[in-house]
Structure 1
Amino acid sequence: MNTYIDKKCEYISEKEVNYFFKKNINFIKNVVNKFIFSKYIGADKNDVDEVCQEVALKIIKNDYILKYSSKKSSINTWIYIISRSVAVDYMRKNNRIYINVDDLEDFSECDREKNDFNIPEGLLSERQNEVVRMIFWGDLNAVEVAEQLGITSCTVRCIKHQAIQKLRRHFSADDKRRIRS
């Protein structure tokens, strides 16, 4: 990695890069570890190490340290986004299986009683139904859903909004107070 730093980073010293990673490596490992083990079947510690190396390589290769701006986001948010993006790319590249919420059948009876709300068949489009299930029953946010479906997070939010509007019209809740999700 040191030879790569010498070749690529013209404006930042190796000492500064090493300081950056010594200071932030635990945060990077925690983000990668939590993401990989919560989203992918069959992941192991080697995957976490590989992704952490990929994160470091991406930050160095693309001179991201120089491009970081505290006006746009905090350092932790910036590292979090890079780490998650690299983890998703790595797991896709290695054809890892994503945990699909619909495939999980081992809900307890208590959980089934909580989730007895059924969306009427044909009310929502297939895409709207998929987005609603991933967000509300899969506990994913718009960015995670977008990554899984290969669309933008803005599109996910738009699909979610359209689906909620259809559900409100169907259940006559248009004029009632909105509940934020």
Structure 2
Amino acid sequence: MKENIHSIYDNKNAINVDQFFKDNNIKIKNDIGTFLKSKFNCIKQFEVDEIFQEVAFKIIKHNYITKYSSDKSSLNTWLYIISRSVTIDYMRKMYRNTLIIDEYTEPSVVESQNYTLKIPRGMLSERQTQVIKMIFWGDLRAVEVAEQLGISPQTVRSVKHQAITKLRRYFGAESERRIVS
């Protein structure tokens, strides 16, 4: 659609605005549905329809049709960006703190076993030992450890990685790949 959008869809003429949405409703609904599927497990058609109405409302209310410029982006990109933004706003509004009180159950208390890890002396450097203890036993993040030790967070992550590699090698878990916080 290389021709000027203003000449085709003049916002002052309601028939042309209606035609704009008739021409582009499938594109907008597909953009909304695709984005929702990428972020949420279960989407319903009524949500897509409601978000479509929000997109139409936003385009008309803010007179976006007259502000569109084909020099900046294609019509498809422009519609996708508006659709995505409105979808995000809608989902934030709808799913903000939606917990049904009747369905809430108190989480069960999980007994934690107290594991002690015996690390042979001299295996880890003093700094590696400090970092490991602060992160895993002190429940601190790399940024917090860095502040306390006066080093950068990247250095903390590097020291942690080196210590974990040494411990894996020692305990025979070199080939196992696990995600460690």
- TM-score relative to the length of structure 1: 0.47
TM-score by length of 2: 0.47
